[in-house]
Amino acid sequence: MRALELLRPTPVAEGPLRLVDRDEPVPGPGELLLRVAACAVCRTDLQLATGELAARRLPVVPGHQAVGRVVALGEGVAGWSIGDRAGAYWLFGTDRTCRFCRSGRENLCEAAAFTGWDRDGGFAEAMVVRADVAIRIPEGFADLDAAPLLCGGVIGYRALRVSGIQPGGRLGLYGFGASALLCIQVARHWACEVHVRTRSEAERARALEMGAASVGGYGDPVPHPLDAAITTAPAGDVVVAALRAVDRGGIVAVNAIHLDRVPEFSYDWLWWERQIRSVANVTRRDAAEFLELAAAIPVRTAIELFALEAGNEALQALAAGAVRGAAVLTTGTA
């Protein structure tokens, strides 16, 4: 099978991924083999490829937003059949026995493994997923449209939950990439007043098209104090800007696996029980709830297609801010 392999991190301009021929993986006990139709490209893939996020293993096949069909079942698999459509996302698996897993917080499991980081991911024609983690894709979504939902959508939904935003509340979105494009649809469905702050003029215009009450740059004030904010830019300065905009008791949810730094700031901006909370990974519940909600709204995605062999070009476009929506790699079977 063809796969995009990261042998060692390099600058994105040098093309860190290489197209290789590999033996097709064999599913182990409790696992499924998916024939991948589409895999969306995440900023985490870019950070891994360039070394901004330290690799867990090398070589590795990145990609954690994959949709495909089940073509083989590992020993002991129940509830799945050949031909079923399934999705793989950031969470590959957990031990299910630790105190975090037992309390419904499997995203914090110390033994968790992650797709495209610990285990080979979806930048390939086939991949292995755990049968008890794989998610069924609602029939209303085509493969290409479903793939971006499996990270930006699922982690965005968790960020909304972590932020504590309530229906009808006032929400700030700091950064307006693929995840925020999905967040705003859920927030508007909940009748929230959404204020978007981003450095991109094109993203500001897009936010207004999607119902934002106001737009501006990261440092621009909001018309009224926010009940909650979500930051997706990997910059600590943006976190502080969001903190200054939230009202008493407000939460800033930091939706980033990597942050450059958090600069020194006045305690007055944290006073009155404001909070900064990180958003760490996702759970099976997050994935199941979000896809059900996304089908009901329905959430729509903007995608730019790249052939599998053009994976480096997709990363370069993402790094340059040239992707309107989500970049999606296709193997030609979607």
Q: Is 61 left (phi over 0), alpha (psi -120 to 50) or beta?
A: beta
pLDDT of residue 325: 82
Q: Report the predicted TM-score, pTM, of the whole model to 2 decimal places.
A: 0.92
Q: How many domains does the chain have?
A: 2
Q: Kindly state whether residues 309 and 270 are assigned to the same domain.
A: no
Kindly indicate the confidence band of residue 261, based on its pLDDT and cuts at 50, 70 and 90. confident
Q: Kindly state whether residues 182 and 229 are assigned to the same domain.
A: yes
Percentage of the chain lying above the pLDDT 70 cut = 99
Task: List the one residue out of 191, 255, 245 whose CA is nearest residue 216.
Answer: 245
Asked if pLDDT for residue 333 goes beyond 80, the answer is: no
Q: Kindly state whether residues 104 and 201 are assigned to the same domain.
A: no
**What's the angle, vertex CA 54, arms to CA 48 and CA 59, rounded to 5?**
65
Q: What's the mean per-residue pLDDT of the chain?
A: 95
Q: Which residue has the higher pLDDT, 256 or 9?
A: 9
Asked if pLDDT for residue 334 goes beyond 90, the answer is: no
d(CA 89, CA 39): 10
Query: In this predicted model, what pLDDT tens digit does every residue of 39-50 receive, in sequence order?
Result: 999 989 999 999
CATH number at residue 325: 3.90.180.10
Residue ranges making up the domain that contains 120: 2-148+284-330
User: DSSP letter at 191?
Assistant: T
Query: In this predicted model, what pLDDT tens digit does every residue of 185-195 receive, in sequence order?
Result: 999 999 999 99
Query: In this predicted model, what pLDDT tens digit does every residue of 90-123 receive, in sequence order?
Result: 999 999 999 999 999 999 999 999 999 999 999 9
Contacts of residues 323-327 at CB distance under 8 Å and 24 or more positions apart, as own/partner, are 323/178, 324/202, 324/206, 325/148, 325/178, 325/181, 325/301, 326/40, 326/41, 326/147, 326/148, 326/152, 326/178, 326/181, 326/301, 326/302, 327/40, 327/41, 327/303
Q: Kindly state whether residues 125 and 197 are assigned to the same domain.
A: no
